[in-house]
Amino acid sequence: MENLLLVTAPESCVVHGTVSLPASKSISNRVLIIKALCGKDFRVSNLSEAEDTLVLARALESLGISKDIDAGHTGTAMRFLTSFLATQRGTFYLTGSERMKERPIGPLVNALQQMGADIEYQGKRGYPPLKIKGKRLKGGSVEVDASTSSQFISSLLLIAPALSEGLMLTLNGTPVSSSYIKMTLGLMSRFGIETRWEQNVISVSPGTYKPQNITIEPDWSGASYFFETLLLAYEGEISFPLLSRKSLQGDAVIWQWFEHLGIKTVFSEEGALIKKSGGHPEFVSFDFRENPDLAQTMALAFAGRGIQAVFRGLETLPLKETDRIKALQAELNKTGYILAPLDEGIWQLRKTAWPLLPARITFHTHHDHRMAMACAPLALAKGQISIKDPDVVVKSFPGFWENMKAIGFDLVYKPRE
């Protein structure tokens, strides 16, 4: 059974303190693949301790020992390893959790097969698990469906320098989360690889990654839950050591979004400081196509603050760790809000017709780390809430609850039911 965590808001709903953000798992995961392909060692400082990164690191370390690789719940590991293993000598069996076996990987496999990769489905076509016979791939001109996951594209780009003919990747459809593709290209450039992105074609020249020591920057996605917290608080200030405006992460846009909601960000050499600077609008409109991982943060923040909204760019949410649309709808209903389709690709976040809500809300995480973290600040709106399965935060932010305590929240675990 699942643990239950009672989350009580700080006295007078005032939050103050310092948050130690985890290292970016998105950057960490890409650097791990680059290091594995580099052939020469280099130092990686502040590598993420998130479960996603640990799973990928363990898989890469085990290649000389075992050919059976389990990516668990980790979509990044599944996708990055699919391409990486296709270039490595040997036969590998790549699987994952039951949920992972429901998440499509067909567009990535199709693109790799265009290069001559030897990959077979071991279950339902288009989904893990996979049997991969690795070999040297030529590359060249390849097409990929870009409308499902940016990780398919990043996975192909990361191995591109090792292809004898490099890669000319044509993106079919409108790319989703293109900020993550830009992150991948930025890191590849930092490690000495020439890339070019013109219209819907990305070109990568063959080459070798150049070893270079790197320090992984703090995670902007993790910071978003504390921007949400300050929005829901009566007043306060939160500091983030080493968090920089100059970031490879697309989710750094969060500080600009919250400026329109009355949260000011001040950057310095030490990091970033956020504080209340004004009021907020009653209605907003957001497009999450570039930043789908911020959708839960914003939806639950608005529900707690009494803001109604129109959302776009939620197409990839049903394909995540859980169906995030259904998960959001279920948990928002407990706050007196609904997320309803308004038109094709457009969703409306609005108050429900019934105002009677339970005195204490128990939020379910749906086995999704981002649901847990986005629900937690709502203690400020209700005084106290409960969260089932709070430990899912280890997937991306193992120290999340310790940081919530550091800014004034009271946390009490109840034994498993």
Q: Mind telling me the catalytic residues?
A: 293
**121: β partners:** 130
Q: By three-state DSSP, how is residue 184 classified?
A: helix
Query: Rounded to the nearest 5°, which phi and psi values hold at 346?
Result: -125, 135
Task: Please provide the DSSP assignment of 256-325 as one string.
Answer: HHHHTTTEEEEEETTEEEEEE-S---SEEEEE-SS-GGGHHHHHHHHHHHT-EEEEE--TTGGGSSS-HH
d(CA 120, CA 13): 55
**144: β partners:** 171
Query: Exposure string (b/e) for 207-239, b if CB count within 10 Å is 16 or more?
Result: bebebeebebbbbbbbbbbbbbbbbbbeebbbb
Task: Tell which residue, 242, 276, 399, 255, has the closest CA to residue 13.
Answer: 276
**221: β partners:** none
Please identify which residue in the block is written with the tokens 């120290």.
399
d(CA 27, CA 401): 23
Q: What is the dihedral of CA 69, 70, 75, 78, to 10 degrees?
A: 20
C-alpha angle 180-150-31 in degrees, rounded to nearest 5: 50
d(CA 16, CA 10): 9
Secondary structure of 125-149 in the HEC alphabet?
A: CCCCCEEEEECCCCCEEEEEECCCC
d(CA 214, CA 38): 14
d(CA 328, CA 190): 37
Amino acid at 194: E
